[in-house]
Amino acid sequence: MSFEKERLNLVVDSEIKKLIDIGVETTDANSRSEFVSKAVKMYTSWLDGGNYAELLAPALSEVIDKKTAYGASRISSVMFKLAVEISMLMHIVAYTNEIDEDELNWLRGICVKDVKDTKGKIKFEDIAVRYE
């Protein structure tokens, strides 16, 4: 791809100029020239039989990046809320059962081992059987 630019004077009617201006506002183009260049590339790709890979790959990558970032943000937000609720539950359980620090450390060791051994797939029924 050549980065050499040449000045080209175009004459278009006012409707086309409005469409170009709208295109600049609604896309990632920084100028009319950039928008027209992208439009010409897309149109010539279509004329050549629909070879859009060169044009669509960056656009698709950008959309995927934005969706991934949004998803990660949502997951982080939900995990924070869940951690707050679990913290509240832990405080209530510790307070009502008068658990001291030694018992808590012992229990944490067992829980860490359970999570590692099961790779996080612990079922309540399996734990309940252990304490019957």
pLDDT value at 66 more than 80: yes
Quickly tell me which residue has 């004329």 as its tokens. 47
Domain range summary for the chain, segments of one domain joined by +: 8-51, 52-97, 99-132
* Distance separating the N- and C-terminal Cα atoms of the chain: 72
Q: Which tens digits make up the pLDDT trace of 67-122?
A: 999 999 999 999 999 999 998 998 888 889 888 888 888 888 888 888 888 877 77
The pLDDT, as a whole number, for residue 75 is 95
Q: Which tens digits make up the pLDDT trace of 8-54?
A: 888 999 999 999 999 999 888 899 999 998 888 888 877 777 666 66
- Give pTM, 2 decimals: 0.43
Compute CA distances 43 → 35, 48, 73, 104, 130, whole Å. Answer: 12, 9, 37, 67, 68
Q: Which tens digits make up the pLDDT trace of 115-131?
A: 888 877 777 777 766 66
